[in-house]
């Protein structure tokens, strides 16, 4: 299993979108998106896993906090490496 975290910055840190993509055998099966506020399953097994994760209040609170602890907290460090999109 593997996961990939992404921080999408819009207008500096004014609007931040945090996405965590979960993979198994190179297939994305579930995704957390801070704009949605919960996990979404992308495969039948991913739907089961998403329901399980979404039913855990402590996990969901941690995921919501990661917008600040992972993205905003590291903004100054990653700024020189960001790709600007127009």
Encode pLDDT of 43-74 as tens digits: 999 999 999 999 999 999 999 999 999 998 88
Query: Is the distance from CB of 17 to CB of 36 less than 8 angstroms?
Result: no
Number of separate domains in the chain: 1
Q: Assess whether pLDDT exceeds 70 at residue 86.
A: no
Q: What is the pLDDT of residue 10?
A: 85
pLDDT at 82 over 80: no
Residue among 80, 81, 66 nearest 17 (CA): 66
pLDDT digits (tens, 9 = 90+) for 12-49: 888 999 999 999 999 999 999 999 999 999 999 999 99
Q: Is residue 86 part of a domain?
A: no
Query: 27 phi and psi, to 5 degrees?
Result: -115, 130
Q: Would residue 21 count as lying in a domain?
A: yes
CATH (domain of 73):
3.10.320.10
Token pair of 67 as six digits: 């917008």
Looking at residue 85, its pLDDT comes to: 60
Boundaries of domain holding 19: 2-81
């Amino acid at each position: 299993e593997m996961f990939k975290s992404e921080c999408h910055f819009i207008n500096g840190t004014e609007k931040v979108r945090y996405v965590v993509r979960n993979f198994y055998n190179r297939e994305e099966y579930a995704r957390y998106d801070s704009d949605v506020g919960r996990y979404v399953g992308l495969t039948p097994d991913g739907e089961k896993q998403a329901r399980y994760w979404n039913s855990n209040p402590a996990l969901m609170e941690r995921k919501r906090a990661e917008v600040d602890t992972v993205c905003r907290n590291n903004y100054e460090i990653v700024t020189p490496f960001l790709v600007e999109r127009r």
